[in-house]
């Protein structure tokens, strides 16, 4: 890389007065707790950092955790305006007669999308899942195709859906990592719907059922998301909690009992909150550097990030974080806002923990003829000297 680029990066970091390297002893953090489950993950919801994982990519039956994708798609359809919470759909024979957990809809009755969504999330109704799938896509089979398209778009590479409810099927599987990715999408992209996941009970057809996520009662900082259980899948739970502005997502698959999935989830969440922290080092569109532009109507362009730079790292390691800006050594006009002109890298103990593109925060149109000629002469000598 151009020597001037390295120098500029170091000067900018020091000028910002942010986290700087130091010689303090690294924080001592215990190993993650042993978790009794087939696969599990602990993720920070804001940085997407995986803090703890085991068998995170092992394909396992997700049981009713499947309904997280069903809910996400229905919520997306509502946000897009294609359907609304007040819409009503007619309950089919298939939805009404399906086994397993139910919200107890009646065949050929009209039920609102809002009631079905609550029946899906709170009561884990298989009947609600099928009714919603048929309303959105015409059939559960077509809806499963949508689910797989969403999974592919999210990078859930070890997930395949056959149905909307999580009913056992040979080719119906997911992983702890993929479910953490999906949960993060719900928490961050569908915040308007997220409070529904914390509702403790829902009454439909004069039948009141409690949310199957008992952590909503046991841990005040837990506010979602979903449980699952079949004989094949064991006991599963995707949970999310907040503490001191930090949000964590835990995924436990294949626990031995309902009590176990809750206890193991609490172990993961407690470990993450106790020993890790998450900070936004820089915010989107904040200038991090002003760089020379050649042959432009302006001689400089401010560089920044298109999204916030959020890092999760062990508590007490602030002084071990190091950042560096790598900027294109020669930037020529025209420059359009959003053009990628470098990178920001943040490392901890030599390991890169975050990398973001540096983009132009403003347009720099090309200068007139004489200004361009003069800048090209200056640029020739600049390159000769460097």
Q: Please list the active-site residues.
A: 64, 67, 124
Residues 6+ apart with CB under 8 A from 256: 36, 234, 235
What stretches of the chain show up as alpha helix (H) in DSSP? 3-16, 67-80, 93-97, 113-121, 126-137, 140-154, 176-189, 215-218, 258-275, 369-385
Dig out the tokens for 340 from the structure.
Answer: 């990628």
In eight-state DSSP terms, residue 257 is S
C-alpha R_g of the chain = 26
- The DSSP annotation for 294-346 comes to BTBSSSEEEEE-SS-EEEEEETT-GGGEEEEEEE-S--BS-B-TT-EEEEEEE
In eight-state DSSP terms, residue 138 is S
Residue whose pair of structure tokens reads 């720099």 in the numeric block? 364
Q: Residue 72 and residue 153: Cα distance in Å, rounded?
A: 13
Three-state secondary structure call for residue 159: coil
Q: Residue 320 and residue 353: Cα distance in Å, rounded?
A: 12
Biggest alpha carbon–alpha carbon distance for the chain: 83
Residues 6+ apart with CB under 8 A from 297: 333, 364, 365, 366, 367, 371
Burial of 30 (0-12, 13-18, 19+ CB in 10 A): exposed
- The DSSP annotation for 45-82 comes to TTT--EEEEESTT--B--GGGGHHHHHHHHHHHHHHTS
Q: Give, in degrees to the nearest 5, the angle at Cα 217 between 212 and 219.
A: 115
Three-state secondary structure call for residue 110: strand
């Amino acid at each position: 890389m151009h020597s001037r680029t390295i120098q500029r990066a170091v000067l900018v970091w020091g000028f910002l007065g942010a986290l700087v390297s130091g010689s303090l002893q690294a924080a001592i953090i215990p190993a993650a707790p042993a978790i009794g489950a087939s696969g599990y993950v602990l993720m920070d919801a804001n940085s997407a950092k995986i803090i703890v994982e085991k068998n995170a990519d092992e394909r396992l039956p997700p049981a009713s955790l499947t309904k997280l994708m069903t809910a996400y798609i229905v919520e997306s359809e509502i946000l897009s305006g294609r359907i609304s919470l007040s819409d009503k759909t007619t309950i089919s024979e298939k939805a009404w007669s399906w086994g397993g957990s139910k919200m107890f809809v009646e065949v050929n009755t009209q039920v609102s999308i809002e009631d079905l969504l609550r029946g899906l999330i709170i009561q884990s109704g298989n009947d609600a899942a099928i009714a919603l799938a048929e309303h959105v896509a015409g059939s559960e089979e077509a809806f499963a195709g949508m689910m797989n398209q969403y999974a592919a778009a999210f990078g859930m590479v070890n997930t395949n859906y056959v149905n909307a409810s999580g009913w056992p099927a040979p080719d119906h599987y997911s992983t702890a990592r993929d479910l953490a990715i999906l949960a993060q999408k719900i928490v961050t992209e569908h915040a308007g719907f997220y409070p529904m996941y914390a509702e403790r009970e829902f009454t439909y057809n004069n039948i009141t059922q409690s949310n199957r996520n008992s952590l909503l009662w046991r841990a005040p900082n837990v506010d979602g998301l979903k449980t699952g259980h079949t004989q094949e899948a064991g006991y599963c739970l995707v949970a999310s909690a907040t503490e001191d502005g930090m949000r964590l997502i835990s995924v436990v698959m294949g626990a031995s009992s309902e009590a176990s999935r809750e206890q193991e989830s609490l172990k993961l969440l407690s470990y993450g909150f106790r020993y890790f922290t998450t900070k936004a080092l820089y915010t989107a569109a904040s200038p991090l550097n002003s760089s020379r532009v050649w042959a432009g109507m302006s001689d400089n362009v401010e560089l920044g990030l298109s999204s916030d730079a959020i890092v999760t790292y062990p508590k007490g390691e602030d002084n071990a974080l190091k950042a560096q800006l790598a900027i294109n050594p020669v930037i020529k006009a025209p420059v359009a806002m959003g053009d990628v002109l470098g990178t920001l890298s943040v490392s901890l103990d030599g390991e890169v923990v975050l990398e973001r593109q540096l983009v132009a925060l403003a347009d720099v149109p090309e200068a007139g003829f004489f200004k361009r000629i003069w800048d090209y002469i200056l640029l020739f000598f600049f390159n000769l000297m460097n």
